[in-house]
Structure 1
Amino acid sequence: MTDKTMPVVELEAKDLPAHCPNPAMPLWSSHPRVFLDFDHDGEAKCPYCGTRYRLAPGVAFKHH
């Protein structure tokens, strides 16, 4: 799959901190859990499976 065909998972504030695999993924496709770092545009990509994540409009996360 290419970046254009990979699914995009939209996350709400209740889903943070975000990690992959996410709870909706089937068990057979699991890989080690990795917490996601979002860029300034509110997007992240899993380094294992390539699933793309996006923060829903209006969702902000706090930096430490």
Structure 2
Amino acid sequence: MPQPLPGDEALAATAKIIETGVADAIAGGTSTRDLGGSASTTEFTAAVIEAITAAGQN
């Protein structure tokens, strides 16, 4: 198995924060048209940022 590169742990942690923010935004009722919602990509991004901030993961 390849050895992780320096910084891989930080990248994985950041990816998990973003993934959770996306899931929380969708669970909170904000999604784009391709997911059955009506939010613009700008509105969805703002909801993701808000979810990450609310979770104290910024």
**TM-score, L = length of structure 2:** 0.21
Q: Which has the higher contact order (CA 8 A, sep 6+)?
A: 1
Of Structure 1 and Structure 2, the greater helix share is in 2
Which structure: larger Rg? 2
Of Structure 1 and Structure 2, the greater strand share is in 1
